[in-house]
Structure 1
């Protein structure tokens, strides 16, 4: 975690999506994938100042391009956008979508270990050819973007993959935190979400490694990055960036990894932080 110097201004703004740019579903009538005007304006002021916007999410690639479209980035005549997907395992340019880097691993041992303790868990692996996922059973509506194709677990993880999602609607996030720590999940890195949602990825792969790859291509460093996020999958990125900022509703371990805390997603905390560096 670097200290920002006097006169520092971010040259890269790495933004999580769910819980950072987008408010969680809370029964309101507005569509979930709605970018608040204040956030939209803050993003475009950053662009006006010459900063690079990088979307960094646990979402699969096809679940992220629509957010870029809602933000109207890249702008006409600008270079294609850099997007870090699948918690850093997939990096692509857009538009059109062009995967430029992907990390894969053998997920079979880790998945088998988790299913031994949660035999009814749902398992999913992104399958870009179908713009969706291979799943052993359907996930709850709205949790995965794209088509879900029912497939045996052995076939889902029969080849190296970039990311595996394991979900147990009958368990809690705390159950998965304890299980992941107990198992060690050798050969993988893992992230537990807000619910009993476990992301498995190759060792050393995170949003931090993904944004680092982008910085390498841009000739910049971690010290140039402002990163904003709210989830456990943001911890590495917030600690790595020159300035890492946790959303106000983040759990304590995320806040502890950050340099600062902004307002909650319901109060447009991402815009509040960006406005500090790119005022109206």
Structure 2
């Protein structure tokens, strides 16, 4: 593993893909002036910038003021592509089918007693009574997951982007391993929270898969992509990109997947690499 100073970069960088929380954003959920300037300079130089996050589109206000160029963002760990120039309108959805989600809920209830669930739809989030409440979503419905996932007829309800599973006692990585062993053949499991909070998407859905499709649409090769991340939900993207950097504060799985390590999110680690890319041009 090499540092941001000496890690190899692509001969040509055409796209920068960056996670938000713990990566581009500081711990106070803001962007530093240096990072804002680096993003603007990259796009001025003709490099596309994709925000690739576990956040839903409605929580992208932290970066919408700094969107340039195309304004596309990959949200919900690859389950949605949003146009930030159009108030986060979803232009592509890769849903978790409701019958699969229900099956996963039942498997995890048996495998991890005490688990509680939230359901992220294209229209907003809803959660069970025992689930930690979402203060950013005061209009959420509170009900058991089976009711939240019910629909009167197939296709009659809003698509499910992901199901979240929270456990009050298990260690985060232990919970992730348990869930993958119990239901990894049914859905994709990852995590981005420091707590035992899992994010469950359709089988095969990931940041990397959706990013790869977006790049293919633009004629951009993976060798021309530089990616940044810090948590297990970034692992596939860090492995896929031609060059990738785990943050100084990253989870060991992200560090192992990346080709280099940069400074932490409070030290402008992403900006440091972008500046190096631009200097090399």
TM-score range, shorter chain: 0.7 to 0.9
Report 1:59-138 matches (<5 A): 59-64=55-60, 66-71=61-66, 73-74=67-68, 78=69, 80-96=70-86, 97-104=88-95, 105=97, 106-129=100-123, 132-137=124-129
**Residues of 2 paired with 1:251 and 1:102: CA distance?**
28
Confirm whether residue 33 of structure 1 aligns to residue 29 of structure 2.
yes
Aligned with 1:50 (options 46, 49, 61): 46
Is the Cα–Cα contact under 8 Å of residues 104 and 183 in structure 2 kept in the other structure? no
Aligned residues: 262
Report 1:131-150 matches (<5 A): 132-137=124-129, 139-140=131-132, 147-150=139-142
Q: Note the residue ranges of structure 2 that are not aligned, 5 or more in a row.
A: 1-6, 152-158
1:249 CA drift (Å): 1.3
**Residues of 2 paired with 1:144 and 1:172: CA distance?**
25
The 1:108–1:54 alpha-carbon spacing in structure 2 relative to 1, beyond 3 Å, is same
Report 1:1-280 matches (<5 A): 8-24=11-27, 32-64=28-60, 66-71=61-66, 73-74=67-68, 78=69, 80-96=70-86, 97-104=88-95, 105=97, 106-129=100-123, 132-137=124-129, 139-140=131-132, 147-158=139-150, 161-193=160-192, 194-279=194-279
Q: Deviations over 1:6-56 (max 9, x none)?
A: 8713211111000001233xxxxxxx3311111111111101110111010
Is the Cα–Cα contact under 8 Å of residues 176 and 189 in structure 2 kept in the other structure? no
12-21 or 207-216, which moves further after superposition? 207-216
1:149 CA drift (Å): 1.9
Q: State TM-score, norm by structure 1.
A: 0.85
Alpha carbon RMSD of aligned pairs, Å? 2.3
264-273 or 148-157, which moves further after superposition? 148-157
SS at match of 1:150: coil
Q: Deviations over 1:194-253 (max 9, x none)?
A: 320111111111101111121122221212211100010000000101111111111222
**Residues of 1 paired with 2:8 and 2:49: CA distance?**
21
The 1:200–1:277 alpha-carbon spacing in structure 2 relative to 1, beyond 3 Å, is same
Q: Deviations over 1:148-203 (max 9, x none)?
A: 32122112223562211111233321331331243143221110333201111111
Q: Note the residue ranges of structure 1 that are not aligned, 5 or more in a row.
A: 25-31
